[in-house]
C-alpha cells in the first residue's frame, strides 16, 4: 500500500492522534510515528542520521528553506519543514483533538459537518507535488509544501477521512468502547461497526463481561 493512499493517510492520522493525545507526546515520539509512515521527519536536536535511510539522499531543493542540524560530528542538511519542534507538537495536539472529534461523531451527518468545517479552514485547492523529485507524485491540500506540521496534519487527515466517509457512507472510525482506553481507530469494514481499538481491548472486555455474568 502506498504511503500516499487514502487509507494509509487515515491510518497515519489515527496513529498520530494516539501518540499525541493518549501517550506522553514529544518531538521524538511524533517524529518516530511520522517516519513509520514514510514521512521525512526529525525531532529538534535529534541526529539526522536516525531519520531513516532516505534521509542521506535528501538534497536541499531550490526554494526549500534549509538549515543545518549539527549532531556529533555529523552535519546534515535538513529542510526546515522536516524538523519537528515542541511547538509543532502543541499545535498538532490541537489538530488531533479535532480529528478525534470527527471519529467520535454520533453519525455520518455530524462527522461530515465537522470535516467540512476543518476543510473550509485548512484546505486549499488540491495540487500535485513530488517535493522536488524526492517522492512519488501525490496530492496535497495544504497551502504549500512548507506549512507547519500541524497544518499539514489537519488538512491531509481531514481530506483522507472525508474521502473514506464518502466511500463507505459512514463515520470512518470510532473510539474504543473500553472505558479505560477510548483510543481512536479506523473502521473501513463493510460489516457491523467495530467497537474496540484492537484485539487486546476486545478480549479484556469479553472476559470482564463473562465474569460479570458468572
Ligand atoms: Zn482500546
pLDDT tens for 57-86 read: 444 444 443 444 333 333 345 665 789 999
CA of 15 to the centre of ligand 1 (A): 13
Centre of ligand 1 from the C-alpha of residue 187, in Å: 13
| Residue ranges of domains in the chain, CATH in brackets | 1-214 (1.10.3300.10)
Alpha-carbon distance of 96 to 33, in angstroms, equals: 14
| Cα-to-centroid distance, 205 and ligand 1 (Å) | 9
Q: What is the pLDDT of residues 113-166, one digit of tens each?
A: 999 999 999 999 999 999 889 888 999 999 998 899 999 999 999 999 999 999
d(CA 55, CA 196): 36
Of the candidates 29, 30, 32, 34, the one whose C-alpha atom is nearest the C-alpha of residue 3 is 34
107 CA to centre of ligand 1 in angstroms: 20
Listed range (28-42, 99-113, 186-200) with the worst mean pLDDT: 186-200
Residue with cell 517522492: 135
Ligand 1 centroid distance, CA of 179 (Å): 8
- pLDDT bucket at 4, cuts 50 / 70 / 90: confident
Ligand 1 geometric centre to CA of 203 (Å): 10
How far, in Å, is the centroid of ligand 1 from the Cα of 89?
Answer: 23
**Cα-to-centroid distance, 176 and ligand 1 (Å):** 5
> Cα separation of 178 and 198, whole Å?
10
Q: Is the pLDDT of residue 51 over 60?
A: no
Q: What is the DSSP string of 168-205?
A: HTS-SEEE-SSTTT--EEE---SSSPP-SSSHHHHHHH
Q: What's the CA-to-centroid distance between 193 and ligand 1, angstroms?
A: 15
Task: Check residue 77 and give its pLDDT.
Answer: 54
Q: What is the pLDDT of residue 82?
A: 87
Question: Can you give the pLDDT at residue 189?
Answer: 79
C-alpha cell at 41: 521527519
The predicted structure's pLDDT at residue 45: 80
Q: Could you tell me whether strands 184-186 and 173-175 are parallel, antiparallel, or unpaired per DSSP bridges?
A: antiparallel
- Give pLDDT, residue 160: 97
> 3-state DSSP helix/strand/coil percent for the chain, to nearest 5?
50, 15, 40
Amino acid at each position: 500500500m502506498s504511503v500516499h493512499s487514502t487509507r494509509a493517510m487515515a491510518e497515519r492520522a489515527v496513529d498520530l492522534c494516539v501518540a499525541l493525545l493518549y501517550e506522553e507526546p514529544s518531538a521524538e515520539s511524533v517524529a518516530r510515528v511520522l517516519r513509520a509512515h514514510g514521512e521525512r521527519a526529525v525531532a529538534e536536536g535529534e541526529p539526522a542520521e536516525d531519520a531513516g535511510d532516505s534521509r542521506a539522499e535528501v538534497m536541499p531543493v531550490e526554494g526549500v528553506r534549509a538549515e543545518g542540524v549539527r549532531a556529533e560530528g555529523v552535519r546534515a542538511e535538513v529542510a526546515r519543514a522536516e524538523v519537528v519542534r515542541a511547538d509543532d507538537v502543541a499545535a498538532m495536539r490541537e489538530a488531533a483533538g479535532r480529528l478525534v472529534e470527527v471519529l467520535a461523531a454520533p453519525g455520518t451527518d455530524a462527522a461530515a459537518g465537522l470535516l467540512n468545517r476543518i476543510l473550509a479552514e485548512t484546505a486549499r485547492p488540491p495540487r500535485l507535488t513530488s517535493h522536488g523529485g524526492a517522492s512519488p507524485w501525490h496530492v496535497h491540500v495544504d497551502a504549500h509544501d512548507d506549512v507547519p506540521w500541524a497544518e499539514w496534519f489537519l488538512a491531509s487527515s481531514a481530506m483522507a477521512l472525508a474521502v473514506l466517509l464518502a466511500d463507505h457512507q459512514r463515520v470512518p472510525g470510532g473510539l474504543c468502547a473500553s472505558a479505560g482506553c477510548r483510543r481512536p481507530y479506523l473502521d473501513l469494514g463493510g460489516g457491523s461497526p467495530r467497537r474496540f481499538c484492537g484485539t487486546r481491548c476486545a478480549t479484556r472486555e469479553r472476559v470482564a463481561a463473562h465474569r460479570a455474568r458468572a
